[in-house]
């Protein structure tokens, strides 16, 4: 009986070791795919390792190879019938991994093998958005050719256009607009692409959008316009562009503040001067007979400047009236 127990335990140990070795092989194919080690990947496949085995994140070897841009490994895995539409635990697909890796050859190969360009995760990610986020214009163009949805707005990610605008990728913005992306799409809190570009300070993107937007004075949930966003961040050049395209200088937000008031509170002296030069109204914001700079948090230097400007304007107006 004792001998039998020893034999049984020996087989148990051998079985455990064998299982561990097999698991190691499964994990290794992911590592070798990440590294782009074609010989090792081919060897493991020949030894019978399942091509679509997933790791703890739900990712497959093809996902890692695609993200790394390891084209030869990708082709080997595709030849072994890897699932081109596999998803990891958060819903990211092989094509999304490839788009994130900016590999044009891999993206073309996946699309050629019927990878679904329309897949979307619960958070709103798509292959097009992944490529846009990384600034991969060639991949963006390829995905558009492959029929990617341009105006997918699900989740918190925003559309591909908003992502490109946020990062200041002017060329991608141009491609998306040219392909039919909705430039007037309203995102969370009523924000638009133009507002985003104005806030972020992407002047060239603002110019691109101004050629196609329906209105320059659209307001968000707080009644902020693109001009107010630009003023809040001190983007003088964008302010000039917006005003030249017809932006109303004295639009008020929900608190009655204008672009001039916002820029003054933020301490942007050059922007304040520019807004006044453009014709911003100093009298807006008067309260109990007092100008806004007397009761709002404005730097002393700016307060003095605004007061002097106000007094000079009053003297000039009186002089003109007397004549």
Q: What tens digit of pLDDT does each residue of 163-185 get?
A: 999 999 999 999 999 999 999 99
Of 180, 173, 181, nearest to 202 (Cα)?
A: 173
Average pLDDT over residues 231-249: 97
Residue 233 has pLDDT above 90, yes or no: yes
- pTM for this structure? 0.85
- What integer pLDDT is reported at residue 285 of this predicted model? 81
Burial category of 134 from C-beta neighbours within 10 Å (exposed 0-12, middle 13-18, buried 19 and up): middle
- What integer pLDDT is reported at residue 290 of this predicted model? 85
Cα 236 from Cα 40, distance rounded (Å): 57
Burial category of 179 from C-beta neighbours within 10 Å (exposed 0-12, middle 13-18, buried 19 and up): middle
- What integer pLDDT is reported at residue 139 of this predicted model? 98
- What integer pLDDT is reported at residue 7 of this predicted model? 33
Note the pLDDT tens digit of each residue in 35-44.
999 999 999 9
- What integer pLDDT is reported at residue 321 of this predicted model? 44
Number of Cβ atoms within 10 Å of the Cβ of 27 = 14
- What integer pLDDT is reported at residue 318 of this predicted model? 40
CB 208, CB 242: distance < 8 Å: no
- What integer pLDDT is reported at residue 156 of this predicted model? 67
- Domains and their CATH numbers in the chain: 26-116 (1.25.40.20), 125-182 (1.25.40.20), 183-283 (1.25.40.20)
Percent of the chain with pLDDT over 90: 74
Cα 16 from Cα 13, distance rounded (Å): 5
């Amino acid at each position: 009986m004792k001998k039998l127990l020893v034999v049984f335990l020996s087989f148990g140990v051998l079985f455990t070791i064998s299982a561990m070795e097999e698991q190691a092989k499964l994990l290794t194919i992911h590592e070798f795919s990440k590294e782009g080690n074609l010989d090792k990947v081919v060897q493991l496949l020949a030894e019978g390792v399942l091509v679509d085995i997933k790791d703890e994140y739900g990712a497959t070897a093809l996902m890692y190879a695609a993200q790394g841009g390891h084209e030869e490994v990708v082709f080997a895995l595709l030849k072994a019938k890897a699932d081109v539409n596999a998803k990891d635990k958060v819903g990211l697909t092989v094509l999304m991994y490839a788009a994130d890796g900016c590999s044009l050859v891999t993206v073309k190969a996946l699309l050629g093998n019927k990878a679904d360009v329309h897949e979307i995760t619960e958070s709103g990610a798509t292959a097009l958005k992944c490529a846009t986020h990384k600034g991969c214009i060639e991949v963006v163009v390829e995905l558009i050719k492959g029929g990617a949805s341009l105006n997918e707005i699900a989740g918190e990610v925003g559309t591909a256009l908003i992502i490109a605008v946020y990062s200041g990728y002017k060329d991608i913005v141009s491609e998306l607009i040219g392909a039919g992306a909705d430039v007037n799409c309203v995102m969370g809190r009523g924000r638009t692409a133009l507002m985003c570009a104005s806030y972020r300070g992407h002047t060239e993107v603002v110019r691109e959008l101004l050629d196609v937007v329906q209105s320059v004075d659209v307001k968000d949930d707080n009644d902020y316009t693109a001009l107010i966003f630009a003023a809040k961040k001190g983007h003088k050049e964008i302010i000039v562009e917006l005003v030249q395209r017809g932006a109303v200088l004295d639009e008020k937000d929900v608190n009655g503040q204008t672009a001039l008031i916002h820029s003054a509170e933020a301490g942007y002296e050059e922007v304040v001067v520019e807004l006044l030069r453009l014709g911003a109204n100093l009298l807006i914001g008067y309260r109990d007979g007092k100008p806004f700079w007397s009761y709002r948090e404005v730097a002393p230097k700016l307060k003095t400047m605004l007061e002097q400007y106000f007094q000079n304007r009053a003297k000039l107006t009186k002089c003109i009236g007397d004549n």
